[in-house]
Amino acid sequence: MGTKTQNGFLELRNVRVEFDRRVALRDMSLHVMKQEIVSVIGPNGAGKTTLFNVICGQVKPTDGAIHFNNEDITHWPPHRICRAGVARTFQIAKPFPEMSVQQNVLVGLWFGSKKQYGSLTEQAEAEELLELVHLSAKSRLPAKDLTLSEQRRLEIARALATSPQFLLLDEVAAGLSPHAIKEMAELIKALRHQGLTLLLTDHFLTLTSKVSDRLVALDQGEIIMEGKPGEVLQSAEVASAYLGERPTRNL
Amino acid sequence: MMRTGSKPAAIYFIAILLFFICWPFLFQNSALYYRVMTMTFFYGALALAWNVYALTGNISLGHAAFFGLGAYGSALLSYYWHTSPYLTIPFGGIVGALYGALWYAVFRSLRGARFALATLASVEIPRVIIDNWESFTFGSLGLIGISSLTTLRFGSIVIAVGESLKAQYYLLLCFTLLILFIHWKVMKSKWGWAIRALREEETAASMLGVNTNFIHFATLLLSAFLTGLCGGIYAHLMGLIEPPLVFSLHISALPLVLTMFGGRYLVYGPLLGALILYPLDQLLFHSLLPVGHSILYGLMIILTLLFFPRGIGSWVQKRKTAS
Amino acid sequence: MIILQLFINAFSLGSFYALVALGFALIFGVTHAFNLAHGEFVLLGGYLAYILVGQMHFPFLLTLPISMLAMIFVAVLLQKLLRYVNEPYELNTLVVTFGLALVLQNGMLMLFSADYRFIRSTAPIIELPKTQLVVTQTQIILILTSLLATTALYILLRRTFLGKALRATIQDREAAKLAGINVRRMSLIGFAIGGTLIGLAGPLYARTAYLYPSGGIEATLIAIIITIFAGVGRIRGILLGGWALGIAESLTVYSLGTGWRELVSSLFLISLLLLRPEGILPRRMGANG
């Protein structure tokens, strides 16, 4: 099930992902328009992370196609998708542990964007991005010494270093204090203002109502509902999909 | 971690280099010194060649395959077609690289312990084939009488490389410096950062624009080529090769020991390991334990991995910066 | 007739391989320690039996319990040593035991020299009635021992409480920890039982194949091949795997001669690594004992 696909900035057409004997995504059709902020919600196992993985090339679809900026990226390797302008963070942060925080960001700059390796401004640019996520103070520390939520912020700075047009944030609000969530929401809105399109997963529904233009609810690999946050969050179907789960707020 | 304080390190490097260059002029001709140091440089080069791929995080236990193929490729070309060693050696490198490409094609999805095991098993394939193909390779009898390195002439300067231990010493010193240079360039460059990113967190690296497949392919090919070169040199230096010798576990293990001991993530690490361990083994342990002296290498692997996994080189560095 | 004789030999060889593999499989299953010195440990048991029989004139069967006891001790020492290994555990234990294998090889070289050694069986060869098939006492002991050992292990894993705890640790270490199982103790027990099995294989090795210091690597490779073939934690598969490998090797030697044997085992191993990666994945749904 899915809405009629218009020509979106990002488009999934009838994407199916199967692992061994398990179907993670069924006949998924989704589109995201330029500068939209779309949140994907759903219970555990609904397919949110698989969705991210298939868009970014970590996983190949068994069937269907993915188009970004009018190009067919279905079978592209991750690094090529990155260079095309797509960046993501990971639910479990994957920093380069032995590199410093700044070096982590520099890697993004060197390989993901068109910036030159060894340019005079690269360190300053990296610092700017770290400033955005409030990590400047820890710039010289090895990334493994950061706390989990700091590592998540590093992920964002690093992803932004690749000069993306489309950013996927995977459970970026998990475990954050209400104040930090508010700051995250501000950051997301600021990024959209700067021209980015964003796709988020938000299992605990903490960010969703604050930033999203549109909500997509998944369950068992399918879209069960799509629409404005208010509508979706009040739907009985979505509630029953979450039943047995305990969303922490706002349902 | 990858910063070697540039000024002091460069000074040490030049000092040590001058030492090796000048030693033969300062002290009397000592055949023992030449023999031991020539092979020390040789194994240092071998270790550096191995580490080029080990930098990606994939530990290979099967580099003897490239070595043996390089040795046989080089020796057979020289034997049957009487080609100059200075051509057969690069040819040996190419043969090694071809097998490296095969590794990439077959083992590309393997990582960690699985990869190490597969590389270990892969040595048997060329070894058994060469061992059994007696009509062409002389099988287990070995290939003897391989021509030694031919004399070089530069105008009126004649260097009888094949006969002179001294010339071989300098030749291998130059060769090792070349490999060291390549190792340096691989580590301290944009490519070096890509390899490091791949090693530390492959998934994230690919999502940041690092072409991880290509990096694996290119570094493996380079490592295999350089190891094949070493094999070719070995053939012409020793004059005789046989399958159990050039495809031995010892050849696969030694670079690993030397590199881990000297420092996996240092430019000069593998070479440092060779400079310390090989002479120690040949001069000291050989006389103490003529039969089981290789026990040193086994002990070194265990001690290094358990107690200073970053190698003695970085341990020394840490102490310097702490004081 | 030759085919049947070949089959008997292959069957006994396969049983031997399975026995060699059991200890490795258990240790790897419970702890994920990759013991590349496994073959050398088997050789140690073999050399021990060789000395007991040759110099102290012990009856062969007595060497089995002695060797088993000695190997439990050695295996537990190894477990203590491996506790110092950092992540990634599988790879690092592989490299450390690689070093250990070199140490043991050279140690044995110094103690026993490179000469090939063998424990000769004094029992007569048994001829099966009405056929021209022969079978040696050693072969019978091999087949019986490997069947017994496998059955004993199977019963331990499936019917005892300890076995359940071991199986839980094999399936999912983290979950086992959460369920209150002392995984540290399980590692120790895993190594101890593994040591017993290795100690059982040692003396039989000395009766079946030549003992020489560098012979360990082959035994290790065989153990690895069969373990991957069977899948982590699957014990029945080990017997099957052993027999399969025994038959494959015997056929190769019969048709191509001994020179190609290692090539076949290597290709076997590589194919398994490529096709059965779940044989060494840390998590496996529904593994049985």
pLDDT for position B322: 46
Q: Compute the distance between CA of residue C91 and CA of residue B112 in angstroms, rounded to an integer.
A: 6
Q: Per the CB < 8 Å rule, is B306 touching C84?
A: yes
Q: Specify if C59 maps to a domain.
A: yes
Q: Shortest Cα distance from B209 to chain A (angstroms)? A: 4
| Cβ–Cβ under 8 Å, residues A26 and A221 | yes
Q: Do B295 and C103 touch (CB under 8 A)?
A: yes
Contact B305 C96 (CB under 8 A): yes
Per-residue model confidence as pLDDT tens digits over B54-71: 999 999 999 999 999 999
Instruction: For residue B303, give the chain C residue with the closest CA.
Output: C96
B-chain residues within 8 Å CB-CB of C262?
A: 124, 127-128
Element at C275 (helix H, strand E): helix C261-275
Which of C94, C99, C277 lies closest to B116 in CB terms? C94
Over residues B302-314, the mean pLDDT reads 80
Q: What's the whole-number average pLDDT of chain C?
A: 85
Number of domains in chain B: 1
What's the pLDDT at C281?
39
Identify whether C200 is part of a domain.
Answer: yes
Q: Which of A220-224, B150-154, B229-233, C57-61 has the lowest mean pLDDT?
A: B150-154
Q: How many angstroms away from the CA of A46 is the closest CA of chain B?
A: 22
Is residue C244 assigned to a domain? no
The two counts, helices (H) then strands (E), for chain C are: 11, 2
Query: Nearest by CB to C263, which of B128, B260, B291?
Result: B128
- What percentage of chain C carries pLDDT values higher than 70? 94
The pLDDT value recorded for residue C195 is 94
b or e along A191-220 (b: 16 or more beta carbons within 10 Å of the residue's beta carbon)?
Answer: bbeeebbbbbbbbbbbbbbbbbebbbbbbe
Among partner residues C90, C99, C270, which is closest to B113 by beta-carbon distance?
C90
- Give which of B103, B104, B114 to mutate to test C binding, by max C Cβ within 10 Å: B114
The reply to whether C258 falls in a domain is no
Chain B residues with beta carbon closer than 8 angstroms to that of A146: none
| Residue-level pLDDT at B148 | 80
Chains that touch B (3 or more CB pairs under 8 A): A, C
Residues of chain B neighbouring A162 (CB-CB closer than 8 A): 208-209
| Residue contacts between A and B (CB atoms, under 8 Å) | 76
Q: Is B3 part of the contact surface with chain A (CB cutoff 8 Å)?
A: no
Asked if residues A40 and A53 have their Cβ atoms less than 8 Å apart, the reply is no
Query: Residue A112: closest CA among chain B residues belongs to which residue?
Result: B209
Residue B234: per-residue pLDDT: 95
Listed in sequence order, the residues at least 6 apart from C280 whose beta carbon sits closer than 8 Å to its beta carbon are B113, B114, C28, C90, C228, C232
Q: State which H helix or E strand residue A68 sits in.
A: strand A63-68
Q: Domain for residue C259, yes or no?
A: no
- Cα A134 from chain centroid (whole Å): 19
Residues of A in contact with B201 (CB under 8 A): 94-97
Q: With a cut of 50, say whether residue C288 has pLDDT above it.
A: no
Please indicate whether residue C169 or residue B175 has the higher confidence score (pLDDT): B175
Query: Cα–Cα distances in Å, from A124 out to A102, A121, A161?
Result: 10, 5, 12
Q: Does B205 touch chain A (CB under 8 A)?
A: yes
Mean pLDDT, residues C267-278 taken together: 80
Band of the pLDDT at C114, cuts 50, 70, 90?
Answer: confident
Beta carbons of A162 and B209 less than 8 Å apart:
yes
C264 within a domain of the structure (yes/no):
no
Question: How close is the nearest chain B Cα to the Cα of A241, in Å?
Answer: 31
- CA B239 to the chain's CA centroid: 19
Domain assignment present for C262: no
Chain-chain contact of B200 with A88 (C-beta, under 8 angstroms)? no
With tokens 């490389």, the residue in question is B161
Beta-bridge partner residues of A39: A200, A215
Q: What is the pTM of this model?
A: 0.88
Q: B121: domain range?
A: 30-244
C266 contacts in B (CB within 8 Å)? 121-125, 128
Look-up of token digits 């012979």: C215
Mean pLDDT by 10 residues, chain A (251 residues): 60 89 88 92 87 93 92 93 94 93 95 87 93 92 91 94 94 84 90 93 81 90 88 82 57 38
What percent of chain C has pLDDT above 90? 26
* B204 contacts on A by Cβ (under 8 Å): 90, 94-96, 158
- Give the pLDDT confidence score for residue A235 in this predicted structure: 83
Would B106 be classed as within a structural domain? yes
CB contact under 8 A, A94 and B201: yes
Residues 6+ apart with CB under 8 A from B209: A79, A82, A83, A108, A111, A112, A113, A162
d(CA A24, CA A28): 10
**The predicted structure's pLDDT at residue B211:** 95
Distance of CA A145 to the CA centre of its chain: 24
Q: Average pLDDT of B144-165?
A: 76
Q: At what angle do helices C89-112 and C216-230 cross, to 10 degrees?
A: 150
Q: What is the pLDDT of residues B247-296, one digit of tens each?
A: 988 899 899 999 989 988 999 999 999 999 999 888 888 888 888 888 88
Mean pLDDT across the stretch C124-149? 83
Predicted local confidence at residue C278, as pLDDT: 60
Calculate how close chain B gets to A78, using CA atoms only, in Å. Answer: 5
Mutating which of C40, C79, C106 best tests the B interface, going by the most B Cβ atoms within 10 A?
Answer: C106
C110-119: b or e for each residue (b if 16 or more CB lie within 10 Å)? eebeeeeeeb
Spatial separation of the C-alpha atoms in residues A227 and A38, rounded to whole Å: 10
Q: Are C263 and B302 in contact (CB < 8 Å)?
A: no
Q: Cα–Cα distances in Å, from C22 out to C29, C43, C143, C193?
A: 10, 15, 14, 10
Tell me which chain C residue has its CA closest to the CA of residue B309: C86
- Provide the residue range defining the domain that includes C121: 19-215
**Nearest chain C Cα distance for residue B245, angstroms:** 14
pLDDT per residue as tens digits for the range A212-222:
999 999 888 88
- Of all residues in chain B, the one with the smallest CA distance to C114 is B291
- Lowest-pLDDT range, B67-81, B251-265, B302-316? B302-316
Chain A nearest-CA residue for B199: A96
**pLDDT tens digits for range C45-92:** 999 999 998 888 888 888 899 999 999 999 999 999 998 888 778 888
Q: Which chain C residues contact residue B127 at CB under 8 A?
A: 262
- B255: in domain: no
pLDDT at C253 over 90: no
Would you call B196 and A96 a contact, using CB atoms and an 8 Å cutoff?
A: yes
Q: Which two tokens stand for residue A38?
A: 């779309």
> Do B228 and B67 touch, CB atoms closer than 8 A?
yes
Q: Total structural domains in chain C?
A: 1
Confidence of residue C35 (pLDDT cuts 50, 70, 90): very high
Q: Is B321 inside any structural domain?
A: no
**Would you say residue B19 has pLDDT above 90?**
no
C-contacting chains (≥3 CB pairs under 8 Å): B
- Residue B300 to residue C81, Cβ atoms within 8 A: no
